[in-house]
Chain A
Amino acid sequence: MTPRLFWACLQQAIRRDLQFRSQTAINAFSSIGDLVLGVVPVLIITGSGGTAWTGPLAVVVVGIFGISTGLMDCFVKPNLAKMHGYVRQGDLDLILIRPVNAQLFATLRWMEPAELGRVLSGAAMVAVGLHLADVRPDAGLVLQAVAWAAIGFAGFSLLWANLAYSAFWFESADPVNEIAAQLREAGKYPITYFTGAARLVLMTLVPAGLVAAVPVETLTGTASPLLLALPALAAGLVLTKLHWHLASRRYSSASS
Chain B
Amino acid sequence: MTRQLRLLRILTVQEVRMMMNHRWWLFLLQIANVLPPAIALLVWHGAIDQGANPPVSTTYLTSYLVLVSVVSMVTSSWTSGFLAASIRLGGLNSWLVRPCSTHLSHLANNSAEKFLKLGLLVPPVVVLGLIFRDDLRLPGEPGRWLLFLPALIMAAAMTFAFDILIGSLAFWMEDIAAVDRLRYLLARLLSGGLVPLALFPAVFQPFLDAQPFRFLISFPLEVLLGTTRAIDYAYQAGWFVVVVGGAVLVWRRGLRDYQGAGA
Contact = CB atoms under 8 A, between A and B. Distances in A.
Interface of A: 20, 22-23, 26-27, 29-30, 33-34, 37, 40-41, 44-45, 47-51, 170-176, 178-179, 181-183, 185-186, 189, 192-195, 198
Given A23-B174, A50-B53, A174-B28, 4 more contacts: A48-B54, A170-B24, A182-B39, A193-B46
A183 B39 CA distance: 8
A22 B210 CA distance: 31
A198 B132 CA distance: 14
A192 B194 CA distance: 20
B62 to A, nearest CB: 15
Contact of B29 (A22, A26, A44, A178): A178
Contacts, number: 109
Contacts of A195: 46, 49
A45 B52 CA distance: 8
Contacts of A189: 39, 43
B199 interface: yes
B189 A30 contact: no
Given A40-B189, A175-B25, A50 B39 contact: no
B22 A30 contact: no
Contacts of A194: 42-43, 46
Contacts of B36: 182, 185
A229 B179 CA distance: 40
A189 B23 CA distance: 33
A10 to B, nearest CB: 21
Nearest to B45: A195
Given A26-B178, A33-B185, A172-B22, A193 B50 contact: yes
Given A27-B178, A27-B181, A175-B28, A40 B195 contact: yes
B28 A41 contact: no
| Closest A-B pairs by Cβ, 6 of them | A50-B52, A26-B178, A172-B25, A175-B28, A182-B35, A178-B32
B59 to A, nearest CB: 16
Nearest to B175: A23
Interface string B192-204: 0011000111000
Nearest to B200: A44
Contact of A50 (B22, B51, B189, B200): B51
Contacts of A192: 46, 50
A50 B50 contact: yes
